[in-house]
Chains A and B, each alone.
Chain A
Amino acid sequence: DVKVTQSSRYLVKRTGEKVFLECVQDMDHENMFWYRQDPGLGLRLIYFSYDVKMKEKGDIPEGYSVSREKKERFSLILESASTNQTSMYLCASRTTGGVLETQYFGPGTRLLVL
């Protein structure tokens, strides 16, 4: 069974803290994605990775970085959290060459930055 897991369901952090959001997939997918979901804006792509150690900026990369040291794990890093990064963060994965329908999402991490 397909599985994308995210390390935390809820997270509360203080402004200025460094925050790590972890995502793990067990499907041997090459491609992994980080989105944020905000009311009225839908899902917006932050970063994606098409292979280990490879990354590309999405539509809203400012304030974020990513790490992909192993194929199954994709980390989103908030170097210095700010209140405008309070959001729902969704990770997804897909195999290279796979149809778009095979992009699977994790359950999300709801981050609150105080």
Chain B
Amino acid sequence: AQSVTQLGSHVSVSEGALVLLRCNYSSSVPPYLFWYVQYPNQGLQLLLKYTTGATLVKGINGFEAEFKKSETSFHLTKPSAHMSDAAEYFCAGGGSQGNLIFGKGTKLSVKP
């Protein structure tokens, strides 16, 4: 079955620290991978995406992710967390019907 797994439902970092949010996908998921962010009381918006080409993908707000086929991973990183990064982050992969399958989300908290 197709699945996208996010490790850790809640990650807490200090302001200025490295952000690492983990995502693994099942090998049956087509290699189209995305990270979305959801701020409180808002819809989701795209942070970055991998479809083809360079495996290190840069997105908005200083985030980047690396597609690693051998590890079936697509972890999201940011070198230095800001308070404004506090939000829910969703990893998603392409489903068999062309839709997106979302992971269960990781809540990022940023401490002053």
Determine if chain A interacts with chain B: no
